[in-house]
Amino acid sequence: MAATLAQKIWADHIVREHTGEPDLIYIDLHLIHEVTSPQAFDGLRLANRKVRRPDLTIATEDHNVPTLNIDRPIADPVSKLQVDTLRKNCAEFGLRLHSLGDVEQGIVHVVGPQLGITQPGMTIVCGDSHTSTHGAFGALAFGIGTSEVEHVLATQTLPLVRPKTMAINVEGTLKPGVTSKDIILAIIAKIGTGGGQGYVLEYRGSAIRALSMESRMTVCNMSIEAGARAGLIAPDETTFAYLKDKPHAPKGADWDAAIAYWKSLKSDDDAKFDVEINLNADELAPFVTWGTNPGQGLPLSAKVPNPAEISDPEERGAAERALTYMGLTAGTPLKNIKVDTVFLGSCTNGRIEDLRSAADILKGKLISKEVRMLVVPGSARVRLQAESEGLDKVFIDAGAEWRTAGCSMCLGMNPDQLAPQERSASTSNRNFEGRQGKGGRTHLVSPLVAAATAIRGTLSSPADL
């Protein structure tokens, strides 16, 4: 029977299928970090259980870690306890951990792909909703809660209800200055933050196929912002070229066997999706959010919307609250909005191509005197690569701060936070109230818009320079 890509991966991982029960699905890779795992390890200890497959598990420190002075002990005692707890748990249960200071340390969703342990056709989970990032490789990857983390540690499986599938077709060619971040922000604005609930999204079409692996990761990363636990893209030559020679990519005969399997991983031509959405890439422009959820976004050339013109009462109320929180007046051109801080980083846009594209704009220029800009590489490897290309100098010469790897200001669990009423243009994934610091105001943007905004001090695209 014709099947979608998500259905094929699902079928290949069913351990147990029984009427009236969820399917028991095998998990190929479990990623762990310090915030959502301590209670799961406690549960194992209480029940006297082991980690079933330490060889399919990998941990890194990312959410809490400082991005300055990492050679010193973590200053916040509560953050330090959480990181120390991860170290103790990994030692006790025999798990691979990349700690602060290790060359493979970084944001869990940047580390997996760069090690080549994220591969097509896999099931990948992590106690973090941006696990959907790994879907860029044609893997079924999704975030889980701590109870499920414990379940995977103990059994390497999860009982799951089969999801529906949604095709998102993006045809055409992106204009210069328009990026994959703009594609996904436009998709979320179109289907809403709940539009993908219960679905696995499959991003398809010529505009998606033309994207690099890193740009594809940006798209899949924000699937959860549309309500979908997972989003994926069928693997192709771009995927295979990215994986070839990565440390954990298959070698020799295993590579050939893997390629043969990976090439079968695409939705059949006559496969039926439960829903199909179409987007024209030619019509896309740089996108920016104005509100307090990722669906509240518009092209940068637009104006702050007027809630009175929104017919749906729920949406109208949400827009009114958002404008109050964001300190914005309806009708203000988005390009007139002044920002205090620019954040370039996160599992959405903290990879080397993101840093290169922003550095291209900043080269030989100075950021506005009224703006602070934080550049936080997604991993220690990304940082080293950027330094080998001289990107760190470009950022520092422009007046930005060059930091070490971690989640940083995306969620402000470490000292990198916005002050109350401080406004940011951020390449991260969530503009929720207080996400980047209590009272902070976040506008989600692409790395190109982030760089141009840092220079001008107001929301801008490179075309405005």
Partner 1 sequence: MDKFVTHVGTALPLRRSNVDTDQIIPAVYLKRVTKSGFEDGLFAAWRNDPEFVLNNPEYAGATVLVAGVDFGTGSSREHAVWALQNYGFKAVLSSRFADIFRGNSQKAGLLTVVLPQESIEAIWSAIEADPKLSVTVDLEAKNVRYSEVSVPFEIDDYTRWRLMEGLDDIGLTLKNIDEVTVFEGKRAAFKPKTLPALS
Site for partner 1 in 35-54 (CB under 8 A): 35-36, 38-39, 42-43, 47, 49, 52, 54
| Cβ nearer to partner 1, comparing 29 with 288 | 29
Give the full edge-to-edge strand order of the sheet including 341-344.
401-402, 372-375, 341-344, 423-426, 441-444
What is the Cα–Cα distance from 325 to 94, expressed in whole angstroms?
A: 46
Residue indicated by tokens 């699902």: 10
| Cβ nearer to partner 1, comparing 35 with 207 | 35
* Site residues (CB under 8 A) for partner 1, limited to 435-454: 435, 438-439
Exposed / middle / buried, residue 54 (Cβ in 10 Å: 0-12, 13-18, 19+):
middle
**Segment lying near partner 1 (by CB under 8 A), choices 110-118, 281-289, 299-307, 370-378:** 110-118
x/- letters, 233..272, toward partner 1 (CB under 8 A): --------------xxxx---xx-xx--x-----------
The secondary structure of residue 71, as a DSSP letter, is T
| Cβ nearer to partner 1, comparing 124 with 445 | 124
H or E stretch including 188? helix 180-191
Exposed / middle / buried, residue 73 (Cβ in 10 Å: 0-12, 13-18, 19+):
exposed
Distances (CA, A) of 145 to 10, 104, 125, 178: 20, 25, 10, 34
Distances (CA, A) of 75 to 157, 409, 411, 415: 37, 17, 18, 9
Is 197 a binding residue for partner 1 by CB under 8 A? The answer is yes
| Contact present, 31 and 126 (Cβ < 8 Å) | yes
| Cβ nearer to partner 1, comparing 293 with 346 | 293
* Site residues (CB under 8 A) for partner 1, limited to 381-420: 411-413
**Dihedral sign from CA coordinates of 316, 320, 322, 327:** positive
Residue indicated by tokens 């693997």: 235
Q: On the CB side of 171, how many CA atoms lie within 13 Å of its CA?
A: 4
x/- letters, 135..174, toward partner 1 (CB under 8 A): -------xxxxxxx-xx--xxxx-x-x-------------
Is 127 a binding residue for partner 1 by CB under 8 A? The answer is yes
| Cβ nearer to partner 1, comparing 57 with 239 | 57
x/- letters, 344..363, toward partner 1 (CB under 8 A): --------------------
Is 327 a binding residue for partner 1 by CB under 8 A? The answer is no
Is 193 a binding residue for partner 1 by CB under 8 A? The answer is yes
| Cβ nearer to partner 1, comparing 27 with 367 | 27
**Segment lying near partner 1 (by CB under 8 A), choices 220-228, 340-348, 355-363, 386-394:** 220-228
Least CB distance to partner 1 at residue 86 (A): 9
**Number of residues located near partner 1, criterion CB under 8 A:** 90
| Phi, psi (degrees; rounded to nearest 5) at 372 | -105, 140
Least CB distance to partner 1 at residue 148 (A): 7
* Site residues (CB under 8 A) for partner 1, limited to 286-315: 293, 314
| Contact present, 163 and 200 (Cβ < 8 Å) | yes
